[in-house]
A and B are shown apart, each in its own frame.
Chain A
Amino acid sequence: MADVKTSLAQFEEISSNPQRLLQNYLDADEKVIACFPIYTPQPLVLAAGMVPMGIWGGQCNAHMAGKYAPIFTCSLLRSCLEFGMTGAYKGVSAAIMPIICDTFRGMNSAWRAGVKDIRPITFIYPQNRKDPGARDFLIEELKTVRSALEEISENQITNEALQEAIELCNQRNAAMRTFCETANEHLDLVKPVDRHHVMKAATFLRPEETIERVSALTEALRAEPVCRWTGKKVILTGITCEPDEILGYFADNKVAVVGDDLAQESRQYRSDYPAAASGMERLALHWFAVHGCSVAHDDNNTVRGRMLAQLAKEQAADCVVLCMMRFCEIEEYDQPSVIKEVTRAGLMSFSIDIDQSTTESGQALTKIQTFAEN
């Protein structure tokens, strides 16, 4: 039990203080590459001998970002720009930016104009994921990322090193999935906010450190008696579910999080890099294996809803909670079809507003409490 508590406290420390971790890396003469959400090709960074660190914005009342990003900009990307402009990411060598939505198109220009000391490395994921040419197109895009990283690291990225990094990331993904499964048997010990801290910390840590720490936590949990959870259970979907207060509301109302489809959390770890002849091909094929995700086009708009309903069924969840990132139009577009499929499966659903520009979350509390009371 002490091991579990200590381990969870360490994950909270890492999750809540990414700047400290960044400084540790820099003090050790490591080069760090910031990775914007989502599906950033981290194995390329690792194969170049550098450290990939996720950036997910954070709660802030932006006062600089407004110069380039109007108030109706995705709350997360606006925060990222604010942090970039105010020096929070100082020391990172570059920022990889996958242009996966319209907001990113504008952010590319905004970043170049507003954050002079951090080079953006941009590339495009093709939304036509059926045309045979899409794979070749994406490999060419990824080659530009590779070239930029080779230039920054002054290391050549060999196929061997890339394959090794991909395997490491796949192992990390497996460790994260195993943790989630195990945590569901110990919902008394792993509160929603604890689960979130583990998932978020993994976006900052080196994959090998994530594997070591998360596997140790999983083992410590397995040594504890299985919990028969009598409260309600939910699945979270969306981009992120922050700040911590919101997750605290679930715990306060005896609601457990037993699965998620959050971009910041399980969406990153649920599908591995598939096997292929070369590392670059594996990176590209990963994108085509992504389904049920708001940033990756599916001709069939029922995929995400059905996937969530299936996840809820597997985990005996009562409800799917849509965590709607403020001004994220791609998530808004997905919302009706997700609700339709979830309702069709006989599940309840409700949405909560996720806004990084305010700490006020009274409406989320009311909704979570209402769900718990009925």
Chain B
Amino acid sequence: MFAAGIDIGSTASKAVVLAADGSVMGKEIVPIGTGTVGPARVFAQALKSAGITRDDIKWITATGYGRFSFEGINDQKSELSCHAKGIAQLLPQTRTIVDIGGQDIKVMRINDKGMLLNFVMNDKCAAGTGRFLDTMAKVLDVEVTDLSDLSFHSDEPAEISSTCTVFAESEVISKLAANMRMENIVAGIHKSVARRVASLVQRCGIQLEVAMSGGVALNKGLVQSLEEEIKCPIKVHEDCQLAGALGAALYALGSMQSAGTV
């Protein structure tokens, strides 16, 4: 018998399938989120990579922005609870988690069991979020995945507003018009995001070790900028983008065991 977790975000869908002993049997990411075919597709792919069918799954827990809309789930959990649980499994020494999602930023402090002690989320504003980086990449006409490498070739990061995506977009266009090097603009964008996130980290309180979850954590340039702002190292697991789905799958496994269906 198997348990599954599906994390339906605003920009990507992620799924993890666990065996009864907790081992990961399947894990998949599809770069489209809620309101699209992404959730169904990622779930089907995770089943396929685990070599099982839908009937083999005894419990499905959904999380993320689209957690209420996926059919056939057994229950749903908030994405903060799932990221906390997932990161506690991936990087057990973590006590502070930063998750930059598609449309929000979350900072969590957890105990050694992955239970949340405190959390802070940004308000309704795209500044500092994954969506902000997507917008900036479009303005610069580069892939969002290229931002990291570009920033490492900066010699003088630009000053970009941390206040608002729309303002920042105007600033970036102005800097392009002034022939500023793209590498410096990208580094400035990372700094802008890092400052925004750092203020939330300070508000939540830092306890070492610090880890990042979510797809934005794969942007090494941004991680470095954030390390400079919060003045401590940040750990990033290779499966950082799957942390929410893993947490959901762990909740599903727990529910499955409680229900005696293992």
Chain A interface (Cβ < 8 Å from any Cβ of B): 324, 336, 339, 343, 348, 350-351, 353, 355, 358, 360, 362-363, 366-367, 369-370, 373-374
Contact = CB atoms under 8 A, between A and B. Distances in A.
Nearest to B80: A370
B79 interface: yes
A363 B116 contact: no
Interface in B103-122: 104, 115-121
Contact of B104 (A351, A363, A373): A363
Contacts of A348: 117-118
B141 interface: no
Given A350-B119, A374-B115, A366 B124 contact: no
8 contacts: A350-B119, A351-B120, A358-B124, A360-B124, A366-B78, A366-B79, A369-B81, A373-B81
Interface in B70-121: 77-81, 84, 104, 115-121
Per DSSP, are chain B's interface residues mostly helix, strand or loop, or mixed? mixed
Given A362-B65, A370-B116, A374-B115, A353 B78 contact: no
Contacts of A362: 65
B143 interface: no
Contact of A374 (B79, B81, B121, B123): B81
A366 B104 CA distance: 11
Contacts, number: 43
> Sorted from nearest, which 7 A-B pairs have the closest CB atoms?
A374-B116, A370-B80, A370-B78, A369-B78, A373-B81, A353-B123, A366-B78
A353 B124 contact: yes
Interface residues of B, number: 18
Interface string B116-136: 111111011000000000000
A373 B120 contact: no
Contacts of B78: 366-367, 369-370, 373
A11 to B, nearest CB: 30
A366 B80 contact: yes
A370 B84 CA distance: 10
A142 to B, nearest CB: 37
B81 A363 contact: no
Nearest to B114: A374
A188 to B, nearest CB: 24
A340 B203 CA distance: 10
Contacts of A367: 78, 80, 119, 121
A324 B123 contact: yes
A369 B119 CA distance: 12
A336 B115 CA distance: 24
A350 B120 contact: yes
Contacts of A374: 81, 84, 115-116
Nearest to A361: B124
A299 to B, nearest CB: 24
A363 B124 contact: yes
Interface in B195-215: 203
Contacts of A370: 78, 80-81, 116, 119
Contacts of A351: 120
Contacts of A369: 77-78, 81
Given A353-B123, A370-B78, A370-B116, 8 more contacts: A348-B118, A351-B120, A353-B124, A363-B104, A373-B78, A373-B81, A374-B115, A374-B116
A337 to B, nearest CB: 13
A366 B77 contact: no
Contacts of A324: 123
Nearest to A348: B118
Contacts of A363: 104, 121, 123-124
Nearest to B83: A370
Contacts of A360: 124
A51 B84 CA distance: 53
Contacts of B116: 370, 373-374
Contacts of A358: 124
Of listed B65, B116, B124, residue having the most chain A CB within 10 A:
B124
Interface in B167-224: 203
Nearest to B205: A343
Contacts of A339: 203
A196 to B, nearest CB: 22
A355 B120 contact: no
Contacts of B119: 350, 367, 370
A365 to B, nearest CB: 8
Contacts of B120: 350-351
A338 to B, nearest CB: 12
A336 B203 CA distance: 8
A351 B204 CA distance: 12
Contact of A366 (B84, B121, B123, B203): B121
A30 B195 CA distance: 56
Contacts of B115: 374
A355 B80 contact: no
Given A350-B119, A350-B120, A362-B65, A373 B77 contact: yes
B260 to A, nearest CB: 22
Interface in B43-84: 65, 77-81, 84
Nearest to A349: B118
